[in-house]
Amino acid sequence: MLLNVGPQHPSTHGVFRLVVKISGETILDADPVIGYLHRGTEKLAEGLQYTQIIPYTDRLDYLAAMLNNYALCHTVEEAMGLEIPERAEYLRIIVMELNRIASHLLFVGAYLLDLGAMSPFLYVFQERERIVQMFNEICGARLTYNYMRVGGVKWDAPQGWLEEVRAFIPFMRERLKMYDELISGNEIFLNRVRGIGKFDTETALAWGMSGINLRSTGFEWDLRKKKPYSIYDRFEFDVPVGQNGDCFDRYYLHLLEMEQSLRIVEQALDQIPSSGPVLGKVPKLIRVPAGEHYAGIEGARGELGFYIVSDGKDKPYRMKIRKPSFVNLQILPDLLRGQNIANLIAILGAVDIVLGEVDA
């Protein structure tokens, strides 16, 4: 029997469609169909100046828009060899790590919702709300932030904002402990996710996976450590890795990574200069030197990179986005074959995709 899971299915995280061939409740084959949210971002970018592209990046991975903003600006800055003011660098780190936490929180909530538990989904919105509120104060938006600029950030933090962030850290630590107690030991949850959707490091690397999906197999790979960008080399933090490469590891790594992000934010708050410019000396019209430029950052879902082909003008000649969700999704049919329908949702949820990014 052919079963269309999605595009309107409640657990396909947006508008993902999966055509599965089932016998009883066992999946014989799965065929992912994407493109329901396709907006042609890469093509649109060819007609836009670099600063004008930033709002489009917000709409890719809309749960981690700060990181998307940064990835584009970072690539342009690398290509142009721009210098970024200290305070701007710290502000960037703070908002990016906060955004990573907000994104991971939503993963935890949505994943539990996929498995039939509704309460955690509503709990995570309490912390997320605080982060979103802080973002609203610093950039005036709650979802599509558009905060980064080539050469720095658009606005300095308002009075008292950094103290607000500092107050958030102990609160968040408490909540992480609560999630760990509430979820990680639940027998039903463990039976649903342990040993499900397993793959090893070689498979993950062969499929080009990155982020938590790759780290869950025990392979330590985090661009913040391996190819440090911005000022990540000034902070002490660990890269948590899994052991089994199963759904449970992927869930648990999200919790562990949030803890590490909190550590980074804490150190950044200690080190940030009390004043200074937040936007460097940037030419009025940004022109990227002719040639090919790529820079990747550790996004919330893996390596997020912008590949820009420039002919030296103020618009990219061609742009290609390396979208972690899109790459990570490719393994799905292999993981699903032979599984139960209930596992379909568990596996798809753990791969952690954002359809805005998959379709771009």
- Residues touching another protein, count (CB under 8 A): 28
Kindly state whether residue 230 participates in binding another protein, applying the rule CB under 8 A: no
Kindly state whether residue 169 participates in binding another protein, applying the rule CB under 8 A: no
Q: Which residues pair with 251 in a beta bridge?
A: none
Kindly state whether residue 112 participates in binding another protein, applying the rule CB under 8 A: yes
Taking the complex as a whole, the smallest distance from the CB of residue 102 to another protein amounts, in Å, to: 17
Kindly state whether residue 122 participates in binding another protein, applying the rule CB under 8 A: yes
State the DSSP H helix or E strand holding residue 258, giving kind and residue range, or none if neither.
Answer: helix 247-271
Kindly state whether residue 114 participates in binding another protein, applying the rule CB under 8 A: yes
Our CB check for another protein shows the closer of 255 and 297 to be: 255
Kindly state whether residue 344 participates in binding another protein, applying the rule CB under 8 A: yes
* Interface characters, 185-204, with another protein (x: CB under 8 A): -x-xx-xx------------
Taking the complex as a whole, the smallest distance from the CB of residue 346 to another protein amounts, in Å, to: 8
Taking the complex as a whole, the smallest distance from the CB of residue 107 to another protein amounts, in Å, to: 15
Kindly state whether residue 179 participates in binding another protein, applying the rule CB under 8 A: no
Tokens describing residue 208: 């080009």
Taking the complex as a whole, the smallest distance from the CB of residue 235 to another protein amounts, in Å, to: 33
Q: In sequence order, which residues have a C-beta less than 8 Å from that of residue 335 and are 6 or more positions away?
A: 197, 199, 347, 351
Among 54, 71, 95, 113, binds another protein (CB under 8 A): 113
Q: Choose the binding region for another protein from 48-56, 96-104, 120-128, 307-315 (rule: CB under 8 A).
A: 120-128
Max distance between CA atoms of the chain, in angstroms, equals 65
Q: Choose the binding region for another protein from 36-44, 181-189, 304-312, 315-323 (rule: CB under 8 A).
A: 181-189
In this structure, the strands spanning 152-153 and 26-33 are unpaired
3-state SS, 72-101, equals: HHHHHHHHHCCCCCHHHHHHHHHHHHHHHH
Burial of 285-294, coded b for 16+ CB within 10 Å and e otherwise, reads: ebbbeeeebe
Kindly state whether residue 3 participates in binding another protein, applying the rule CB under 8 A: yes
Among 268, 345, 355, 358, binds another protein (CB under 8 A): 345
Taking the complex as a whole, the smallest distance from the CB of residue 272 to another protein amounts, in Å, to: 33
Q: How far apart are CA 167 and CA 181, in angstroms?
A: 23
Our CB check for another protein shows the closer of 48 and 342 to be: 342
Q: How far apart are CA 250 and CA 350, in angstroms?
A: 6
**Side chain identity, residue 358:** V
Taking the complex as a whole, the smallest distance from the CB of residue 244 to another protein amounts, in Å, to: 18
- Asked if 293 and 80 touch (Cβ cutoff 8 Å), the reply is no
Q: Which residues pair with 319 in a beta bridge?
A: 308
In degrees, rounded to 5, the angle at the alpha carbon of residue 298 between the alpha carbons of residues 311 and 279 is 60
* Interface characters, 248-267, with another protein (x: CB under 8 A): --------------------
Taking the complex as a whole, the smallest distance from the CB of residue 187 to another protein amounts, in Å, to: 10
State the DSSP H helix or E strand holding residue 50, giving kind and residue range, or none if neither.
Answer: helix 50-58
Kindly state whether residue 285 participates in binding another protein, applying the rule CB under 8 A: no
Q: How many CB atoms lie within 10 A of CB 150?
A: 24
Alpha-carbon dihedral sign for residues 300, 8, 129, 89: positive
Kindly state whether residue 81 participates in binding another protein, applying the rule CB under 8 A: no
Alpha-carbon dihedral sign for residues 159, 161, 164, 169: negative
Taking the complex as a whole, the smallest distance from the CB of residue 246 to another protein amounts, in Å, to: 14
Taking the complex as a whole, the smallest distance from the CB of residue 345 to another protein amounts, in Å, to: 5
- Asked if 345 and 32 touch (Cβ cutoff 8 Å), the reply is no
Given the rule CB under 8 A, which residues bind another protein?
1, 3, 9-11, 25, 112-119, 122-123, 126, 186, 188-189, 191-192, 340-345
